[in-house]
């Protein structure tokens, strides 16, 4: 009896509370309204974690009206999500293949493709390790029990690692001892936790302040593998196209490029146009398709 | 389709189910019959993987079993090699993660059996093990089977824990869930679709079987 009456009463109370609150929260006429901050949501490759965080805070100082929200993850995951129109404004992939594929499948314009950095691969060991990477370089891996690399099947750093190991002629020897990280950050984490002895990881991760004190690295010369050209795309459904372009332009500016270099990235020969049709631009980098085993 | 991954997944699920059967049944029996004050704590420990994301379990597992840790050093001395990135490591993590899926149905089944029946068997001279095997198990087998089926099925569908501690090694730790993930990452949507469909059909079949079994039990 009481309960039966209570429920409609509660509904009426809630409705009344809502009716009272709604007009109060709306801006009243005549009040000054602050300029709306334009938010740029960035889907960023995990090797950008430290560099992009720094870039965002510097950009914020230059232009306070732009709010950048970065989500870090696997470029391939973002690619699959963006094909389903995930609500990001800017895509910063670790591989130029992914944004180009989006444009080919009808998402985004060719003129919104760009390249912004070249990833560098290093051999990395924690401080406690006695592996002589400074002396033996890639050969060091022969004496390791577990070697962590990113998955060569889909991670660009993994492909580069495989290429470098093959070039050194130790791929077959190392292969049984490989553990594969889902992305380059997880690969670094496998080594940091001690579960793997040594890893081939992104220089951008190991020179960042958060990890610089944790280990030693040796940089694999760029000619040992195909260049890890990182590409991006301004998405056609960006809520503020102008703000998204502003973020892109900052990364391609002199200051942005310096910052990327300081965080262990190389720079693409021609910052920044990336073509959707293979054969233009730098064919060596673009013609790599994700391999299917 | 990555048949190596399918075979490995079935092997992992079968081993997880066997381990949970061997250790989970006595644990569940204890939980169902004990009056100790700290039983709720054990209950909570068993059920906690239900609430935790697999990343938490995977992260702690990775951190606590590395070669620098006590557990890791002990394992290396006894078995050689490391716990993470090995089949044994993935199995151990999988057993922990699936504990509630097996032990909770077991314990619910045992709890529903009239304790007087077991006591009567004991009074008639049956040993505790014999009373368990001849009275308890026959009366609660649908719940036990449900627990085993759920543990098996849930291991087949497991992803996060294996991703965190496995290292994606073909034939050792690359399960079908990881293989699908790799397919998607490599833009091989056709391959991902094939394996996903297989898993979907499997999951529906297992759940139908489980609900079919539950209908035959006294409603819990």
Chain A interface test: which of B58, B86, B88, B182 (most A C-beta within 10 Å): B182
If asked whether residues A56 and A190 sit together in one domain, one would say: no
- The chain A residue lying nearest B60, using CA atoms, is A193
Q: Say what the pLDDT of residue A225 is.
A: 85
**CB-based contact B167 A179, cutoff 8 Å:** yes
Of A53 and B63, more confident: A53
Do A150 and A87 reside in the same domain of the chain? no
- For residue A213, the tally of other CB atoms under 10 A from its CB is 7
Alpha-carbon gap, residue B203 to B217, rounded angstroms: 22
Whether residues A45 and A190 share a domain: the answer is: no
* Gap from A283 CA to chain B (nearest CA, Å): 20
Q: Which of A195, A290, A291, A292 to mutate to test the interface with B (most CBs of B within 10 A)?
A: A195
CA distance B129 to chain A (A): 42
pLDDT for B34 beyond 80: yes
User: Which of A163-172, A276-285, B21-30, B179-188 is least confident?
Assistant: A276-285
Query: What per-residue confidence (pLDDT) applies to A270?
Result: 56
User: Angle B3-33/B39-51 helices, nearest 10 degrees?
Assistant: 150
Q: Are A42 and A52 in contact (CB under 8 A)?
A: yes
Report CB contact under 8 Å: B185, A151: yes
Name the residue of chain B whose CA is nearest to A144's CA: B81
Which chain A residue has the Cα nearest residue B163? A182
Res B202 pLDDT > 80: yes
Question: Tell me: the pLDDT tens digits for B86-137?
Answer: 899 999 999 999 999 999 999 999 999 999 999 999 999 999 889 999 999 9
pLDDT tens for each residue of A203-221: 999 998 878 888 899 999 8
Give the residues of chain A that fall short of pLDDT 70.
1-37, 270-293
* Strand A215-219 to A228-234 pairing: unpaired
Kindly state the percentage of chain B with pLDDT values over 70.
98
Q: Which pLDDT belongs to residue B217?
A: 54
Residues of A in contact with B169 (CB under 8 A): 178-180
Residue A258 resides in a domain = yes
pLDDT at B145 over 50: yes
* DSSP 8-state class, residue B34: -
Strand A38-45 with A66-73, pairing: parallel
Please say which residue of A219, A247, A264 terminates a domain: A219
Cα distance between the two ends of chain A: 68
Q: What is the mean pLDDT of chain B?
A: 89
Residues A104, A169, single domain; the answer is no
What is the tens place of the pLDDT at every residue in A61-103? 998 899 999 988 888 888 888 988 888 999 999 989 999 999 9
Tell me, rounded to whole angstroms, the distance of Cα A134 from its chain centroid: 28
* Cβ within 8 Å, pair A76-B187: yes
pLDDT given at position A282: 37
A143 and A191 in a single domain? The answer is: yes
| Residues A143, A110 share a domain | no
CATH number of the domain at A148, please. 3.40.190.10
Q: Are residues A110 and A248 in the same domain?
A: yes
In angstroms, the first-to-last Cα distance of chain B is: 40
User: Are residues B143 and B112 in contact, defined by beta-carbon separation less than 8 angstroms?
Assistant: yes
By CA distance, what is B2's nearest residue in A? A293
Which residues in chain A are contacts of B187 at CB distance < 8 A? 76, 79-80, 101, 154, 290
Q: What is the mean pLDDT of residues B46-50?
A: 92
Instruction: Say if residue A148 is in the same domain as residue A194.
Output: yes
Beta-carbon count within 10 A of A271 CB: 16
Q: How many structural domains does chain A have?
A: 2
SS3 A40: strand
Report helix, strand or coil for B83: coil
Domain assignment of residue A48, yes or no: yes
- Residue A111: inside a domain: yes
pLDDT (0 to 100) of residue A13: 44
Do residue B185 and residue A153 have CB atoms under 8 angstroms apart? yes
Interchain contact A15–B (C-beta under 8 A): no
- Domain architecture of chain B: domains with CATH: 3-33+52-215 (1.10.3720.10)
Q: Are residues A128 and A208 in the same domain?
A: yes
Interior angle at CA B14, CA B13 and CA B20, nearest 5: 90
**Residue B196 pLDDT > 50:** yes
**B220 pLDDT more than 50:** no
Q: Is residue A32 part of a domain?
A: no
Residues A86 and A151 both lie in one domain: no
* CB nearest A292 (choices: B66, B67, B188): B188
Residue A136: give the domain boundaries. Answer: 121-219
d(CA B55, CA A266): 33
Q: What percent of chain B has pLDDT over 90?
A: 55
Interface contact B62-A153, CB threshold 8 A: no
Out of A195, A291, A292, name the one closest to residue B82 (CB).
A195
pLDDT at B194: 93
In a domain, residue A194? The reply is: yes
Show residues of chain A in contact with B5, CB under 8 Å. Answer: none
CB contact under 8 A, B188 and A290: yes
CB contact under 8 A, B185 and A76: yes
Tokens of A159: 């492909």
Same domain for A232 and A104? yes
Whether residues A193 and B167 touch (CB distance < 8 A) is answered with no
From the list B143, B165, B151, the residue with the least C-alpha distance to B217 is B143
H or E segment to which residue A83 belongs: helix A75-83
Q: For residue A36, what pLDDT is reported?
A: 58
Residues with Cβ within 8 Å of A126's Cβ and at least 6 positions away in sequence, in order, are A191, A192, A194, A214, A215
Domain end marker among A170, A187, A219:
A219
Q: Which residues of B touch A (CB under 8 A)?
A: 62-63, 65-69, 72, 81-82, 84-85, 163, 167-169, 181-182, 184-188, 191
- Calculate the CA A269 to chain-centre distance: 20
In a domain, A31, yes or no: no
- Is A185 a domain residue? yes
Q: Which of A196, A219, A242 is the last residue of a domain?
A: A219
Residue A238 in any domain: the answer is yes
- Residues 152-181, chain A, touching B (beta carbon < 8 A): 153-155, 178-181
Q: Do A165 and A78 belong together in one domain? A: no
Q: How many CB pairs under 8 A join A and B?
A: 73
């Amino acid at each position: 009896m009481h309960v039966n009456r209570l429920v409609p009463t509660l509904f009426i109370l809630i409705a009344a509370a809502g009716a009272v609150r709604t007009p109060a929260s709306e801006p009243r006429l005549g009040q000054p309204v602050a300029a709306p901050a334009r938010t740029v949501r960035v889907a960023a490759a995990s090797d950008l974690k430290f560099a992009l965080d720094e870039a965002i805070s510097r950009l914020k100082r230059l232009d306070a009206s732009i709010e950048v929200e970065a989500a870090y993850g696997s470029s391939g995951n973002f690619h699959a999500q963006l094909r389903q129109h995930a609500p990001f404004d800017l895509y910063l992939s670790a591989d130029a293949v992914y944004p180009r594929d989006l444009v080919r499948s009808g998402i985004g314009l060719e003129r919104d493709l760009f390249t912004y950095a070249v990833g560098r691969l290093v051999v990395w060991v924690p401080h406690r390790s006695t592996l002589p990477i400074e002396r033996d370089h890639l050969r060091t891996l022969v004496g390791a029990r577990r070697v962590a690399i990113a998955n060569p099947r889909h991670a660009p750093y993994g492909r580069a690692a495989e290429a470098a190991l093959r070039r050194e002629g130790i791929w077959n020897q190392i292969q049984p001892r490989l553990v594969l990280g889902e992305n380059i950050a997880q690969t670094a984490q496998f080594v940091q936790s001690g579960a793997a002895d040594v890893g081939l990881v992104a220089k951008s991760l190991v020179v960042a302040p958060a990890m610089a004190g944790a280990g030693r690295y040796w940089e694999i010369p760029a000619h040992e593998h195909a260049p890890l050209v990182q590409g991006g795309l301004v998405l056609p459904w960006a809520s503020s196209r102008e703000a998204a372009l502003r973020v892109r332009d900052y990364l391609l500016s002199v200051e942005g490029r310096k910052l990327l270099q300081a965080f262990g990235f190389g720079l693409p020969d021609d910052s920044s146009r990336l073509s959707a049709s293979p054969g233009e631009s730098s064919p060596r980098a673009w013609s790599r398709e994700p391999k299917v085993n | 389709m990555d048949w190596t991954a399918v075979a490995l997944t079935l092997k992992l699920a079968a081993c997880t189910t066997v381990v949970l059967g061997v250790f989970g049944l006595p644990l569940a029996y204890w939980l169902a019959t004990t009056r100790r004050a700290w039983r709720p704590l054990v209950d909570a420990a068993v059920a906690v993987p239900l609430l935790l994301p697999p990343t938490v379990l995977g992260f702690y597992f990775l951190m606590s079993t590395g070669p620098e840790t006590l557990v890791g050093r002990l394992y290396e001395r006894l078995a050689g090699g490391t716990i993470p990135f090995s089949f044994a490591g993935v199995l151990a993590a999988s057993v922990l993660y699936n504990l509630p899926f097996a032990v909770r149905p077991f314990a619910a089944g045992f709890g529903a059996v009239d304790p007087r029946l077991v006591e009567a068997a004991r009074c008639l001279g049956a040993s505790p093990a014999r009373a368990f095997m001849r009275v308890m198990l026959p009366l609660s087998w649908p719940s036990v089977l449900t627990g085993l089926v759920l543990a098996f099925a849930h291991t087949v569908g497991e992803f996060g824990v294996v991703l965190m501690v496995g290292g994606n090694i073909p034939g050792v730790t690359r399960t079908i869930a990881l293989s699908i993930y790799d397919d998607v990452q490599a833009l091989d949507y056709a391959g991902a679709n094939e394996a996903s469909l297989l898993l979907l059909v499997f999951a529906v079949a297992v759940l139908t079987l489980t609900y079919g079994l539950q209908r035959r039990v006294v409603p819990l």
